[in-house]
Amino acid sequence: MTSVPPSIEQPSRPLTRSDYKTLSLSALGGALEFYDFIIFVFFAAVVGKLFFPVDMPEWLRLMQTFGIFAAGYLARPLGGIVMAHFGDLLGRKKMFTLSIFMMAVPTLIMGLLPTYAQIGMWAPILLLLMRVIQGAAIGGEVPGAWVFVSEHVPARNIGYACGTLTAGLTSGILLGSLVATLINTVYTPEQLSDYAWRIPFLLGGVFGLFSVYLRRWLHETPVFAEMQQRKALAEEVPLRAVLRDHRGAIVLSMLLTWLLSAGIIVVILMTPTVLQTLYGISATEALKANSLAIVLLSIGCIVAGRLADRFGAGRVFIVGSLALLASSWSFYHNLAAHPEWLYPMYAVTGLCVGIVGAVPYVMVRAFPPVVRFSGLSFSYNLAYAIFGGLTPIMVTSLMKFSPLGPAYYVAGICTLGLLVGIYLLLTKR
């Protein structure tokens, strides 16, 4: 790992009111932007019926609808690399604000798009274009947010800052779930298909534009401002320097991104469906338990970040991985015999997934400030595109052999987290 030159390290001081303001605005913006990105999946069924031909087979319509959703993930690496490039050369704040603007406007437009019945094939094409722009935006938002908050706070509070920001991102998933539940409760299926499906997208667009306004009050990070003043910015393409000089940091960051993406995708996003199909739990109960798990996940992210500051990331990943292994194994194995344990077991497992709050602590410290945004963004988005896409396929494949497929996959990921923790502890990183 390349260490940060002492002259541009954050000074050792207590957190100030300004620091808390920066963390609050950043976390709020991240939550609203993640809501914008994820809300599509909650209304995939109705959107598929409105944006594709009526006579199309249901399986093909759903496949194409989720294909459009997946396009957002595929656009992440390119968007993240481009925005990180300019973030390392022009400033963190500019890209931090641009990313949420690029998310808000397409979300607003999606809520206003004509359907297939009105403009034919242009409807799915325009929907796809909006998802691609959203994907590019989220590719820059998450790494940019971690870099932004980590360079604002004292070095001893980087874990807390990154954990708080990650909690904000996971809260965006909860907000999407709650809004989807409310819309489906208030409106009939006919009203939903007629006009109500537009409401969550229009809300998301308004949320996003409000966040753009809020981010006007944020300041450029002291670390970047000092590099700019000293003319110490990258003299070549930042990504080229990352690929040449920081390959170890790339590998470490990609492995940690695998841990992060798998924990959230399997335990938070896939498990509600698993609860309904394999354990016979009603959709309402599954979603309520899932909401509780997300709340505990957000708390766990902050706790993991704070513990990383105090005890080091190595110890957090060792203890956290063992805790997640025990809680998830118990959850998936005992639920069939004890469905009444759903809420407490899912809550504890969600809390343990909060170990992912320590992931950005390691990643922002793995790259020097001059190429930090590019290094983190490249590693995170490439790994998320690979593992985020493969995880559902691998879990589904395991479930063909055993209904405990999710438990086996999470156990494998916990083993990875344990090994990474041992490595970090031995190398004192």
- Rounded-to-integer distance, Cα 420 and Cα 302, Å: 20
Percent of the chain with pLDDT over 70: 89
Q: In terms of Cα–Cα distance, which of 170, 58, 179 is closest to 107? A: 179
Q: Three-state secondary structure along 201-219?
A: HHHHHHHHHHHHHHHHHCC
Distances (CA, A) of 370 to 202, 249, 260, 378, 427: 38, 14, 25, 14, 23
Question: Are 16-233 and 238-429 the same fold in CATH?
Answer: yes
Q: Kindly report, residue by residue over 277-297, the tens digit of the pLDDT.
A: 788 888 778 888 988 999 999
pLDDT at position 144: 82
DSSP 266-308: IIIIIHHHHHHHHH---HHHHHHHHHHHHHHHHHHHHHHHHHH
Choices 3.90.580.10, 3.40.50.300, 1.20.1250.20, 2.130.10.10: CATH for 16-233: 1.20.1250.20
Q: Which residues contact 88 (CB under 8 A, 6 or more apart)?
A: 233, 234, 238, 370, 371, 372, 373, 374
pLDDT band at 69 (very low <50, low <70, confident <90, very high): low
Q: Which residues contact 112 (CB under 8 A, 6 or more apart)?
A: 198, 202
Superfamily holding 238-429: MFS general substrate transporter like domains (1.20.1250.20)
For tokens 């490039």, the residue is 85
- Rounded-to-integer distance, Cα 196 and Cα 193, Å: 7
pTM of the shown model: 0.83
- Rounded-to-integer distance, Cα 17 and Cα 24, Å: 10
pLDDT band at 63 (very low <50, low <70, confident <90, very high): low
Is the pLDDT at 5 greater than 50, yes or no? no
Q: In terms of Cα–Cα distance, which of 170, 169, 167, 419 is closest to 317? A: 419
- Rounded-to-integer distance, Cα 272 and Cα 283, Å: 8
pLDDT band at 230 (very low <50, low <70, confident <90, very high): low
Give the pLDDT mean for 222-228: 63
Q: What is the mean pLDDT of the chain?
A: 84
Distances (CA, A) of 92 to 29, 137, 140: 15, 14, 10
For tokens 């590693």, the residue is 379
Count the Cβ atoms, other than its own, within 10 Å of residue 223: 21
What are the residue ranges spanned by the domains of the chain? 16-233, 238-429
